[in-house]
Structure 1
């Protein structure tokens, strides 16, 4: 198993910052906003409550599972029962346990690419085989049913679906989601639908939950979500999965032997977050929308960079293929991994190369950082690349 490229890049950049270098980090996928104060206060109160000093149910605090069910119906229209929910240590554990529960050696899983690196790594850990299905900027980084069908074999048992998507920010329109959901139901496939960026959509784009658009897939669908992105709580490590009750039971059994349960303090904080209104979410979305337009404009002003405007999440996925083969600061650049290393060394800017997402030739930049840092980082990149020799 390869380590997380995004976390590795983030750790290296933060180590350089601790050493005194003025590194600007476009790498990590975490909001730069603080967790809302009422959430923090709920956690502080929970620390003083002896109830939370003890073990709790492996599947999550009952009141949190009920609140997640209510929040899910409010935000996506998906009506579920608390028995269909397991609370996990972040969305990653939900994904890992879903794959471990549902996949067997020899199974194949279709993974639209560019993909979040965790998907193929945890599929392989479950003994199955990830099968990338490639999309690029010409289709808005969205795969079609025809592409999925060409990749499907008799061994295909699951599709991974993410909209809004990491790393591209692609948002699938309702009709395309329905077509994909109907196709998956027709072929009796499981679908893991990652909805962690549900509130991060911009312009005319709209979020649609796959099992709501395609009710026929609900008995074979696992929805993954969490508080990390929408509520600025990545470090609290609270996620969840929504699945048929028997699958949740199996995932809970696995969790009981792995981590017992999620920290009670973090669960109480998450309860306050999902039970509250979406004012903090709306404020973040407004800031991200402004930064999204700024970073796209500044990247496309750089010779050799082509950056489509994303419709969701808080990433841009820019093609840097025209820069490959150039010599920059005396270094001949042949891969975007080398380009990312050069940007960190020479411009003190941290980005994640497309190699981490299954599509070399691209760079992912998160715009979840302060406006001033974004502008300064873009200027550093432009200054470095403008002097590149052909």
Structure 2
């Protein structure tokens, strides 16, 4: 089975991260010392390094006390949502978006409400659309930038327009998922929400190390929140979880200190397979010209023209995904992200595997 469905890339662990983890283990290995236990919010040096990186990206007021290091990004998200949301709180999610948000919001007590965006205008989120969707009862707006699954990157100008609307709602939190920020092919770096003014101090960012910094499997995530919320999240983790092991945090520290170089290397590695996938999709029958995604290592491809006629959209989308799996290629059904008939395809795979997968996809849809 060839998988274009995985959320993890085929990236080697950065040498600087491996060396840092080895160094942290040396006293344990050589002298029999116990492994040190980190403060629950994370090692001070890692929290400061993360705060410094956000300051470098324009978030000039971020301090280490706002940073919490978490045992993976999903665990951090759940702790954060559990502190932010009250039972039944309205959570607005522009879609398509990562399927994991649906269950995380539900388990944290919120009620997720999709805001469908369109591929026809490259998933633009206009101030008018956003203002019409928000109500005084909306507690949280979640935006992924870069977006999983579409690869859409919202520019600083777009963020500025979005924040101008959210500022009209003083009880609204805005959460930006920026875990793919280092995987970007646009002319400008991906902006962070934290660099935009937040008049109500209700901006929050979640991120991690498994995507842009090639530390998949190391179980390190992070979030940046106003100090009181960061402290509440830390207290919740102290009661319900554990601090990230020190060797993994030291690997994350080294990756943070070399983030620009690591991200550039990953993007260079991805360029050939990115183009291969775009070319392969363009060669399929009836392919339309589409904007190449600026971020992540996915293409969110429109396969609606290949759906079985007469079936409901969800069923037809699932049927196509099953047909591809039966032929030997796993993909993510866009219906799980709010867009039936679209497929999320990863190009963070070996070139030979991608070529074989494209050939199989072509045979299934009738090339």
Normalized against structure 2, the TM-score is what?
Answer: 0.92
| Cα distance in 1 for residues equivalent to 2:57 and 2:353 | 32
**1:263 paired residue number:** 245
Alpha-carbon shift at residue 119 of structure 1 (Å): 1.4
CA contact (8 A) 2:51 2:62 kept: yes
1:238-260 CA deviation, whole Å, 9 max, x = no partner?
A: 11000111001100011011212
Of 89, 112, 130, the residue aligned with 2:71 is 89
CA contact (8 A) 2:186 2:294 kept: yes
Alignment of structure 1 residues 337-348 onto 2, 5 Å: 337-346=318-327, 348=328
Alpha-carbon shift at residue 218 of structure 1 (Å): 7.0
1:65 has 2:43 as partner: no
**1:325 paired residue number:** 308
Alpha-carbon shift at residue 70 of structure 1 (Å): 1.5
List alignment gaps of at least 5 residues for structure 1.
1-22, 328-332
Alpha-carbon shift at residue 223 of structure 1 (Å): 0.8
SS at match of 1:216: coil
SS at match of 2:198: helix
**1:358 paired residue number:** 338
SS at match of 1:286: helix
CA contact (8 A) 1:304 1:323 kept: no
Of 226, 250, 275, the residue aligned with 1:244 is 226
Alignment of structure 1 residues 364-379 onto 2, 5 Å: 364-379=344-359
CA contact (8 A) 1:305 1:322 kept: no
1:195 has 2:175 as partner: no
Bigger mean CA deviation after superposition, 279-288 or 188-197: 279-288
| Cα distance in 2 for residues equivalent to 1:90 and 1:76 | 25
| Cα distance in 2 for residues equivalent to 1:295 and 1:217 | 42
1:27 has 2:5 as partner: yes
Of 371, 380, 383, the residue aligned with 2:360 is 380
| Cα distance in 1 for residues equivalent to 2:78 and 2:134 | 22
| Cα distance in 2 for residues equivalent to 1:352 and 1:228 | 19
Alpha-carbon shift at residue 289 of structure 1 (Å): 3.0
CA contact (8 A) 1:184 1:217 kept: no
1:37 has 2:31 as partner: no
| Cα distance in 2 for residues equivalent to 1:102 and 1:194 | 15
**1:143 paired residue number:** 125
CA contact (8 A) 2:145 2:177 kept: yes
**1:6 paired residue number:** none
Change (3 A) 1:321 1:52: farther
Alpha-carbon shift at residue 74 of structure 1 (Å): 2.5
Alpha-carbon shift at residue 52 of structure 1 (Å): 6.4
| Cα distance in 2 for residues equivalent to 1:334 and 1:242 | 39
